[in-house]
Chains A and B, each alone.
Chain A
Amino acid sequence: MSVHAALRGNAQTLFERIENFFDASFGGADNPLRHLGALGLYFLWILVATGLYLYTVLDTSIEGVYSSIGYLSQQQWYLGGILRSLHRYASDAFVLVMMLHLVREWAYGRYYGFRLYSWVTGVPLIWLAYISGIGGYWIVWDRLAQFSAIATTELLDWLPFFNEPTARNFLAPDSISDRFFTVLVFIHIGVPLMLILGLWAHVNRISRVDYLPSRRLMLGILASFLALAVIKPALSGAPANLALVPADLPLDWFILFIHPLTDITSPAAVWTLIFGATILLFALPFLPHPKAQPIALVDAANCNGCSRCHADCPYEAITMAVHPDKPGHKIALVDRDLCASCGICAGSCPSSTPFRSQEKLMTGIDMPQQPVDAMRQQLETELGRLRMQPAGTTQLVVFGCDKGADVRGLASANTAAISLLCTGMLPPSFIEYALRSGVDGIMVTGCREGGCDFRLGMQWTQERLAHQREPHLRSLVPQDRLRLVFASRNENKQLAAAANEFRTQLETRMVTSSKPPAYSRRTLHHA
C-alpha cells in the first residue's frame, strides 16, 4: 500500500468515526458532515440574499463606503447589521465546508474514474471562492481592508504580469479614487456569479443533486448564525488610513490567512504553495488508483424500456432510446464515462427476479462482475447449505454492501451472507425468494443514512422495502422478518450485534408473523 493510500485510508476512517459520532445527535439525513456540498450551497444562498441587501445600501465613494456599511452595524443593527453579520459568517462557513468537502471526497477516494469531471470542475471553485472572499473584505475599507488590499497586491506583484507594481495603488491616502470601489463591487458580484456558474458545472453530471440540506439542518444553522450575529456582530475597524500601518488586526483566519502566511514566508513560497496545491489537485485523479470496475451492460432482449434504471441511476449514466428490436419500446443506454459500476440499475430492473424460470437468469441491465444470475446462484447455494441444518435452527440471510460493514464476517452454519456492489443492487424479490425458501429472517445492511458511497443506494433500498419505490417488496413479506441495518465500513461489531439481536427476536417469538408461503421450485436450476 502506498503512502498516499495509507494516508487516505486513515483520513477516511477518521471521517467515518466523526460522522458516526454526529449521527448520534443529527441522524443521517441531518448530519452536516454527510451533506457538506449541500451546506456549501446553502451558505452561498445566504451570501447572495444578504449581499443583495448590502449592495442596495452601499455608497461606493471613498468616504461613503465606510460610513454606509458602518451605518448598518450601528444605526440599523436589527436588520442591516444582522444581515452584514450573516454575510460575514456565511462566507467563513462556506470556505470551511468547501475545504472539508474537498478533504472528505479525497478521503473517500471520490476523485477519479466517473468522478473525475466533478473533481476537476471543483478545483477552480476554490480560487473563485477565495478571490470573492478576499475582495469582499476590501469593500468595507477599514484598517483590515487596507491591510488585505496592500498585502494582496504585494503578493500579486511577485507574479510577472504587471508592468507597474499594483501595490502602488495604495501608497498614500490620495492614491485611490471613488471608482476603485465601483470596480471592486462589480468584481465582488461578478466573481460569485462565475462561482455559481462553476457550481452548476460541478454538479452537472449527477442526478437528484442535494441543492440544499434538510430543512432541520438549515433552520438549526440559521438559528445559530442569528445568535452569533447578535452576540458578536460583524463590525468595521477604524477607517483605512494609508499613512499608517494597521495594528492588532481582527483577522479572518478562514479567508485572510494567506497574508500572515506571506509575511512569515515569502510571496514566492506562497505562490509555490498555491500553484503546487492546484496542480496536485488537478493531477490527483491521474495518480495510481484502484482499477475501474466494469460498467453496466444492457441486454436488449430483456430490456422492456420501463426506465426504472434511468430514474434510479445516481449519476445520470443511463438514458433511454428507441428500442432497436421492439417497436414502440425504449431501451436503456449506458454512458461509459458516467457509469459508477454500482449496480443500482440491476436492482431496479423488474427482470432481476430470481423467481424467473430461466436456467440462466438474464435481466435487462446487469453488472458483469456480479451478474444477477450469479447472485441467484450464490443465494441458491447458501439456501441449500442452510437447509442442511437441523430443524428448528433459526436461519438468517444477510445482504450487504462491499462499501459498508463487511457482512462476510457474519457467515456461519445458520447465517448466509451475500455482499453486493451496493445494497441498492438488491432486487426486493430476492428477499421474498429467500423467505419463501424457508429462511426465518432477512437482514439488509448498507452504509449509514446519507453516507452511501453511491449516494442513493440505501435510500432506494429503503423506499423499495417500504413499498414506496419500484420494484417494491411485495406485501406478502412480513416486515418483522426483515431488518434494515445501517453500518458503515468500520462498524462490523455493530453489525454483528444487530444480527444477534435480530436472531434473538426471531428465536424468542418476538416475531409474530408467519413466513410467507413456501415457493415450489419447478426447474432444475432452482437447486
Chain B
Amino acid sequence: MPKPAAIVGQIILYGAFAAFIGYFATAPTYKQIPDDAALIKLSMSHLGGRECRQRTAEELAKMPPNMRAPLDCPRGRSDIKLQLELDGKPMFETVMHPTGLSKDGVSTVYKRFEIKAGTYQLAVKMNDNLVNPGFNYVKEAQVTLKPAQVLVIDFNPDKGGLFFQ
C-alpha cells in the first residue's frame, strides 16, 4: 500500500500530466495571418500551347492512309508566362514550365499572398504560348477584400479563362 505522501505525489503528477496535455492540445492559439489581413491565392493548372504545322499534300501522300493527320504537333508544351499586378504595380511574375519528362504535362502554380484588407485594382496577365508576344489572357478588376477573406485567382477555359473567386 503506498504511503499517503506517495498518493498525494501521484495525484499531483497525474494532474500535472493531464494539465500539460490538456493545455498544449489547444493552446496557445495560433494566428496564421493578422486580423486585418486577407489572402490572395494564385493557383493554376493549365496546358501550355504548342506550335502546330500544317502538313503539305506531298507529306500527307507519303504517310500511311490511317496516319494522315493534317497537323504536325510537337509533343512538348510551351512555358506559360504569368504576371500579377496590384494597383498597377507588379506583384508577382513567373514562367511556369510544363511537367513531365517530355514536357508535355500541365504547367502549374500555387502561391499565397498576404495583403491588408481593402479595395485594390487587381490584374492578371497570362501568355500560354510563348511563341507569341504579349499576353493572350488578361483579367483586371477592382476587388474588395474583407479581413480573413480568401480570393482565388484561377484559370479555366470553360469559364472564359482567368477568373477571380
On A, residues with C-beta under 8 Å from B are 22, 24-27, 32, 88-89, 92-93, 96, 147, 154, 157, 163-165, 167-168, 171-172, 220-221, 223-225, 227-228, 231-232, 234, 242-254, 259-260, 263
Contacts and interface: CB of A to CB of B under 8 A. Distances in A.
A171 B6 contact: no
B157 to A, nearest CB: 16
B25 A96 contact: no
Given A154-B110, A163-B99, A25 B22 contact: no
A247 B31 contact: yes
Interface string B75-111: 0000000000000000000000001100001101110
Contacts, number: 125
B33 A224 contact: no
Given A163-B99, A172-B152, A224 B32 contact: no
Residue among A228, A234, A259 having the largest count of chain B Cβ atoms under 10 Å: A228
Contact of A250 (B13, B27, B32): B27
A27 B10 CA distance: 10
Given A25-B9, A88-B25, A254-B24, 16 more contacts: A26-B9, A26-B10, A92-B24, A92-B25, A163-B99, A164-B45, A168-B110, A221-B17, A242-B150, A248-B30, A250-B26, A251-B26, A251-B27, A252-B24, A253-B24, A254-B25
Interface of B: 2, 5-6, 9-10, 12-15, 17-19, 21-22, 24-33, 35, 37-39, 41, 43, 45, 99-100, 105-106, 108-110, 112, 148-150, 152, 154, 165
Residue among A26, A164, A250, A263 having the largest count of chain B Cβ atoms under 10 Å: A164
Given A243-B149, A245-B150, A228 B43 contact: no
Q: Is the interface of B mostly helix, strand, loop or mixed?
A: mixed
A252 B99 CA distance: 36
Contacts of A22: 13
A263 B39 CA distance: 14
20 contacts: A26-B13, A89-B25, A93-B17, A154-B112, A163-B106, A168-B43, A171-B152, A171-B154, A223-B14, A232-B22, A245-B37, A245-B39, A247-B31, A247-B32, A247-B33, A247-B148, A249-B32, A251-B26, A251-B27, A252-B24
Given A89-B21, A93-B21, A163-B99, A244 B43 contact: no
A92 B6 CA distance: 26
A244 B99 CA distance: 30
A252 B31 CA distance: 13
Contacts of A157: 110
Contacts of A248: 29-31
Contacts of B24: 92, 252-254
Contacts of B13: 22, 25-26
Contact of B22 (A27, A228, A247): A228
B29 A164 contact: no
B33 A245 contact: yes
A249 B30 contact: yes
